[in-house]
A and B are shown apart, each in its own frame.
Chain A
Amino acid sequence: MTAHGNINLVPLVDILTSIVFFSLLTYTGATLAALTAFDLSLPPTVVSAPSAVRNDQKLLNLLLAVRIDADKLQVEHSEGMRQQIAGLGPQSMDQLEALMKQVRARYPQNADVLVVPTDEVSYDDVIHVLERLKLVGYRGISLGTRARGEALIPAARLTAAGGAR
């Protein structure tokens, strides 16, 4: 308070000026957003296709795969199940989630699944499938790639990290 009983705003203005100055100084121009991540842990060395398939067969007690085609999803596992879901829209994703919940309930010991998108599938659709699998509770999600003229190669393994479990 000053002698006349007014509030002295000068120090406050000084500090706010400093804040604005340093904010402008540190502005990088980058857009910031709240992001989430699907972490991929890759094998340390590049392996050939046949040995990669053999290693994964040893690791997984149930071979469960979700294939993503341009117009359909296909879920299959080593116990003989094979089911197709038409489309890649929200309803198809809901069906996939429900189906994967059933599989998860039937084989609770298995938390691994291999996702194999075809070349023409959009990255957006792949992320939606990964999202649904994470929601169901699959922690070990491998992202496969179909090499030109070769068998399926599990290329990247999604680790069970953070809130995605």
Chain B
Amino acid sequence: MSRAREARAARRAAQFAKFRITELNLIPLVDTFVSIVFFALTTSTVGELTPIVSGISLPESRVGAVAHQQLTLGITNTSVRLGDHVIMGIGQAASAQSTIPNQPLVIPQLYTALKATADSIRKEKKLRPDQSVETPLAIQGDKALRYNLMSRMIQTARYAGFRTLSLQVTRTEGGAPSGTGN
């Protein structure tokens, strides 16, 4: 081989040397996969979970539809809450007298709050003022509640314009169906 050819080969080798992959750093790739797996596992669990109104002890059931996170009416032993706002005390709700003719079960203060919420939904969805709202209202009631109060809540929500209610309870897996010890 001539000296010129050797020099040309050396120059070419030097040019391509900078493109040579010396090592493949897999660490960022592994880190990214770790993050993806972490979030996939977290969201697959959290996706089935729904927030519970604080201070509430829900009844338990093995069956029922999937509970979704939605506008929630929480009825604890001490208060009635719509979303994050406390509407009234539970004693106040139980003793409230309806001011609406032919609707003896309606709780006025709760009705006002629910009506305002329903009206804002109607406005957003451009519905008529007398039209029922399709947006579901979840009810989380303490298991110690008496049904007469619960029925008043249901009637009030219905009269305020909520057509779809959902009684949310704690889901139990397997085992014997729950029941009280009375």
A: which residues have CB within 8 A of B?
A: 1, 7-8, 11-12, 14-15, 19, 28, 30-46, 48, 68, 71, 87-93, 97, 117-128, 130-132, 134-135, 143, 145, 147-148, 155-156, 161-164
Does the CB pair B49–A33 fall under 8 Å? Answer: yes
For A121, A123, A162, the residue with the greatest tally of chain B CB atoms inside 10 Å of its CB is A123
Chain A residues with Cβ under 8 A from B178's Cβ?
Answer: 90, 128, 131
CA distance A43 to B157 in the complex (A): 12
When A128-B178, A155-B158 are in contact, do A44 and B50 touch as well, CB less than 8 Å? Answer: no
Residues of A close to B167: CB separation below 8 A:
37-40, 127, 130
Contacts A15-B34, A35-B58, A39-B65 known; list 4 others, CB within 8 Å: A15-B35, A31-B52, A44-B132, A123-B142
Chain B contacts of A28 at CB under 8 A?
51
Please measure, in the bound complex, the distance between the C-alpha atom of A35 and the C-alpha atom of B51, giving whole angstroms: 9
Q: Does B44 contact A (CB under 8 A)?
A: no
Residue of A8, A46, A88, A161 touching B65 (CB-CB under 8 A):
A161
Chain B residue contacts of A164, Cβ below 8 A? 63-65
Tell me how many residues of B have a C-beta within 8 Å of chain A. Answer: 66
B143: interface (CB < 8 Å):
yes
Please give me the residue from chain A that is nearest to B162 by CB atom: A42
CB nearest to A48 among chain B residues: B102
> Does B121 sit at the interface, judged by CB under 8 A?
no
Instruction: Assess whether A127 is in contact with B65, with CB atoms less than 8 Å apart.
Output: no
Interface of A is mostly: mixed
Q: Are A147 and B154 in contact, CB atoms less than 8 angstroms apart?
A: no
Answer yes or no: B19 CB below 8 A from chain A CBs.
Answer: no
A37 contacts B67, C-beta separation under 8 Å: yes
The answer to whether A37 touches B166 (Cβ under 8 A) is yes
Chain B: CB-nearest residue to A133: B63
Interface of B is mostly: mixed
Number of A-B contacts (CB under 8 A): 214
Evaluate contact between B62 and A135: CB separation under 8 angstroms. yes
B155 contacts the other chain (Cβ, under 8 Å)?
Answer: yes
In the complex the two chains form, is B176's CB within 8 Å of A35's CB?
no
CB of B170 within 8 A of CB of A34, answer yes
Q: Which single member of B34, B60, B142, B179 contacts A88 (CB below 8 Å)?
A: B179
Q: Are A19 and B163 in contact (CB under 8 A)?
A: no
B155 touches A134 (CB 8 A): no
Residue in contact with B154 in the complex, picked from A30, A46, A135, A155, CB distance below 8 Å? A155
- What are the residues of chain B within 8 A of A35 when measuring CB–CB? 49-50, 52, 58, 67, 168-171
Decide yes or no whether B138 CB sits under 8 A from chain A.
Answer: yes
B174 at the interface (CB under 8 A from A): no
Q: Please tell me if the beta carbons of A41 and B163 are within 8 angstroms of each other in the complex.
A: yes
B45 → chain A closest CB, angstroms:
9
Given A35-B171, A41-B163, A134-B63: A155 and B150 interface contact (C-beta under 8 Å):
no
Of chain A, the residue at the smallest CB distance from B166 is A37
Which of these, B105, B151, B163, B171, contacts A44 with CB under 8 Å?
B163
